[in-house]
């Protein structure tokens, strides 16, 4: 029986759930890929340059030029010396500040056959990838994954591959998928990982035609696949190798109840950080079990299927919810919890900062700094989204609408502290009792200080952030 006899979608989804920046339609475009439930939208970011014109200059031009000159006057060269040329006037600094305006133009939108639970962009070795364009990898509910590309010939998206892992032997005790699949892509475009059914991982390797060593290993893999009657995955046809599924307990028997994953930057092999909780706890059991979350950083040797643990960290706060990688100069990763921020790197025991007074009650992590000024801000980091602003600056968007900038303080290449400040609206637009946005669902940087902030309960924003030096 068709589902439309019971339920039918009358209106398209309105809330923005996921967003990614990519060069999708052409190698020179700045596209935003927005997922609204079962709807995929492609936008083109355009920055319009407004030519500043002084008011006094425009008045002198109007006075000096005859509004209706005759044809004889326009071509009379003898009177050229009598023309009144306008004087150059300096342009006010306020006019220069508003000389650029960014906007989003809708390129196309498509109705999908499933609900998008996660998305990522990757540059493969396909023809579009060699031209400099990205592909988008979509994760759907019930453990599905699809790779899409833009076709200039048809001016629409095309499906490169479909991968599905909704098998009964993977579900175990899960009657329904309470853990939506999350896709994570290596920054060096070497592989993608789909985390589904809590503790399952599907690894999809991407072919690297530029690397000689990868080409040699790929040729060996192709010969094995030919022997196994899998020649359809030849290098000339597909930009990826066959995917395979593994349990996270194969890496370490302690790893289970995965909270989040993220790939790290600047490693020779694809390196994955896994945040997990072996023995779950809750607020009522904090007297017995308090710091129960652990972190493991694993190197993925896909060719030999060996996964050594590079380093690990235990006794993290029980309310840790998310990971995000920090590139150089502060190469490492941030652990986001409800009441604190923790920075972790190889060779570092971890350093964090409490953002409210509850941190003293819920964790005994030794590296947390209890600063009275930061605790007095009384921040709540559940459901926060982030954007990397470059260098050591990070912008956090809280669920109550506040925007927070976090600057990592470095001593050489080592993080020794944090500087946390609120982002203020311009004085002419600010309202004491209102915030800029509320309940953010996703965020991504766009270009030249612009970023996109999606929301489920408010308008999604294309905003630009600027920094001003305060003199005291």
Q: Is the dihedral of CA 46, 108, 121, 415 positive or negative?
A: positive
Task: Give the Cα separation of 184 and 189 in Å (integer).
Answer: 11
Across 355-365, b (16+ Cβ under 10 Å) vs e yields bbebbeebbeb
Task: Give the Cα separation of 36 and 335 in Å (integer).
Answer: 27
| Whole-number Cα distances in Å, 352 to 22, 340, 393, 418 | 32, 7, 15, 8
pLDDT of residue 326: 92
pLDDT of residue 83: 44
pLDDT of residue 180: 87
Point out the residues of the chain with pLDDT beneath 50.
1, 55, 57-58, 61, 65, 67, 69-75, 77, 79-81, 83-93, 95-96, 211-220, 222-223, 225-235, 430, 432-434
| Whole-number Cα distances in Å, 359 to 320, 404, 418 | 12, 18, 16
pLDDT of residue 356: 93
pLDDT of residue 439: 82
Task: Give the Cα separation of 77 and 25 in Å (integer).
Answer: 51
Please write the tens of the pLDDT for every residue from 437-468.
678 899 999 988 899 999 888 888 898 887 76
Nearest partner of 141 among 2, 45, 17, judged by Cα:
17
Element (H, E) at 119: strand 116-122
Task: Give the Cα separation of 195 and 200 in Å (integer).
Answer: 6
pLDDT of residue 174: 56
Average pLDDT of the chain is: 81
How many other CB atoms are there within 10 angstroms of residue 145's CB atom? 22
Residue 338 per-residue DSSP state: S
pLDDT of residue 223: 42
Say if pTM beats, i.e. exceeds, 0.95. no
* Phi/psi at 115 (5° precision): -90, 125
Q: Is the dihedral of CA 188, 190, 194, 195 positive or negative?
A: negative
Across 154-166, b (16+ Cβ under 10 Å) vs e yields eeebeebeebebe
Residues 6+ apart with CB under 8 A from 323: 260, 261, 262, 273, 275, 295, 333, 334, 335, 336
Start-to-end C-alpha separation, the chain: 71
Longest dimension (CA), the chain: 98
Please write the tens of the pLDDT for every residue from 205-236.
998 765 434 443 444 454 454 344 344 444 45
Per domain, the residue ranges of the chain are 57-90
């Amino acid at each position: 029986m068709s589902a439309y006899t019971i339920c039918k979608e009358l209106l398209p989804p309105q809330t923005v759930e996921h967003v990614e920046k990519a060069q999708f339609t052409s190698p020179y475009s700045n596209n935003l890929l927005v997922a609204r439930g079962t709807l995929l939208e492609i936008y083109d970011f355009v920055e319009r340059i407004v030519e500043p014109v002084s008011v006094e200059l425009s008045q002198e031009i109007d006075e000096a030029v005859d509004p209706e000159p005759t044809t004889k006057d326009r071509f009379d060269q003898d009177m050229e010396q009598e023309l009144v040329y306008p004087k150059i006037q300096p342009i006010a600094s306020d006019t220069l500040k508003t000389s650029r305006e960014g906007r989003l133009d809708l390129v196309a939108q498509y109705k999908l056959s499933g609900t998008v639970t996660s998305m990522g962009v990757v540059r493969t070795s396909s023809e579009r990838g060699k031209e400099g364009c990205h592909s988008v990898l979509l994760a759907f509910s019930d453990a599905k994954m699809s790779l899409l590309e833009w076709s200039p010939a048809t001016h629409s998206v095309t499906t490169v591959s479909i991968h599905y892992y909704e098998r009964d032997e993977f579900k175990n005790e899960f009657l329904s998928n309470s853990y939506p699949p999350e896709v994570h892509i290596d920054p060096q475009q070497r592989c993608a990982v789909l985390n589904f059914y809590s503790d399952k991982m599907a690894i999809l390797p991407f072919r690297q035609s530029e690397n000689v060593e990868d080409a040699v290993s790929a040729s060996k893999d192709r010969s094995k696949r030919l022997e196994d009657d899998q020649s359809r995955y030849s290098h000339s046809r597909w930009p990826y190798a066959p995917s395979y599924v593994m349990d996270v307990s194969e890496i370490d028997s302690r790893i289970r109840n995965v909270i989040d994953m993220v790939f790290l930057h600047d490693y020779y092999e694809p390196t994955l950080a896994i945040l997990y909780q072996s023995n779950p706890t809750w607020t009522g059991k904090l007297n017995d079990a308090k710091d129960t979350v652990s972190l493991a950083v694993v190197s993925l040797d896909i060719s030999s299927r060996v996964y050594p643990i590079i380093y690990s960290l235990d006794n993290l706060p029980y309310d840790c919810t998310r990971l995000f990688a920090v590139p150089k100069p502060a190469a490492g990763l941030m652990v986001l919890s409800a009441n604190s921020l923790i920075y972790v790197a190889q060779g570092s025991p971890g350093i964090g900062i409490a953002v409210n007074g509850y941190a003293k009650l819920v964790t005994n992590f030794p590296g947390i700094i209890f600063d009275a000024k930061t605790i007095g801000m009384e921040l709540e980091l559940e459901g926060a989204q982030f954007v990397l602003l470059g260098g050591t600056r990070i912008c956090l968007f809280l669920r109550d609408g506040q925007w927070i900038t976090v600057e990592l303080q470095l001593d050489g290449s080592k993080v020794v502290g944090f500087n946390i400040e609120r982002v203020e609206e311009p004085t002419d637009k600010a309202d004491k009792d209102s915030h800029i946005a509320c309940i953010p669902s996703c965020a991504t940087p766009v270009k030249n200080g612009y970023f996109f902030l999606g929301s489920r309960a408010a308008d999604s924003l294309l905003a630009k952030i600027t920094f001003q030096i305060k003199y005291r």
